[in-house]
Amino acid sequence: MTRQDDSEQLAWDFDAPHTDGGESGAVVVGEGGLAGLAPGSDAWIAALQPTDADAMRLDRLDIAAMEAPEAARLWARVAAWVESDQIAYYIDDAPVSSDAAYDARLRCLQSLEAQFPSLDSPQSPTHRVGGTFSNDFASVRHPSRMMSLDDVFSIEELREWYDGVLRALDWPESKPLPMTCEVKIDGLALNLIYRNGVLEQGLTRGDGVTGEDITLNVRTISTIPQNLSGPDEDIPEFVEVRGEVFMRWDDFHTLNNENEDAGRAPFANPRNAAAGSLRQKDPRVTATRRLSFYAHGIGSLRWGAGRANDGHDVVNDQSEAYELYRKWGVPVSPHNREVTSFQQILDMIEYYGEHRGDIEHALDGIVVKVDDLGLQRSLGATSRAPRWAIAYKYPPEEVNTELLDITVQVGRTGRVTPVAVLKPVYVAGSTVSRTTLHNPFEVERKGVLIGDTVVVRKAGDVIPELVGPVLERRKGREDELRRFVMPMRCPSCGARLAPAKEGDKDIRCPNVESCPAQLTERIINLASRKAFDIEHLGDQSAVALTNPEENRPDSVETYAPNITEIIVKPGEEPDPYEPLAGLSLPEPQTPVLSSEAGLF
Would you kindly state where each structural domain of the chain is located, as residue ranges? 1-31+396-486, 32-127, 139-393, 513-575+588-600
Burial 463-484 (b: 16+ CB within 10 A, else e): bbbbbbbbeeebeeeeeeeeeb
**Longest CA–CA separation in the chain, Å:** 96
Torsions phi, psi for 326 (to 5 deg): -60, -40
Catalytic site positions: 184
Query: How many other C-beta atoms are found inside a 10 Å radius of the C-beta of residue 154?
Result: 15
The pLDDT tens digits for 287-308 are 889 999 999 999 999 987 655 4
What pLDDT is recorded for position 524? 87
Q: Please tell me the predicted confidence (pLDDT) of residue 555.
A: 53
CA angle, corner 592, sides to 589 and 596, nearest 5? Answer: 150
| pLDDT score at 18 | 37
pLDDT of residue 392: 96
Model pLDDT, residue 301:
92
Tens of pLDDT, residue by residue over 536-591, are: 777 777 777 777 665 555 554 554 555 666 777 777 777 776 666 665 655 655 55
Q: Which residues of the chain have pLDDT under 50?
A: 1-32, 132-135, 308-309, 312-313, 556, 559, 593, 595-596, 599-600
- Whole-prediction pTM value? 0.62
Alpha helix positions (H), 125-240: 155-169, 215-218
CATH 1.10.287.610 for the 32-127 domain, yes or no: yes
Tell me the fold of 139-393: D-amino Acid Aminotransferase; Chain A, domain 1 (3.30.470)
Number of Cα atoms under 13 Å in the Cβ half of residue 120: 12
Q: CA of 134: how far to CAs of 96, 209, 211, in Å?
A: 18, 15, 10
CATH class, range 1-31+396-486: mainly beta
pLDDT confidence of residue 250: 94
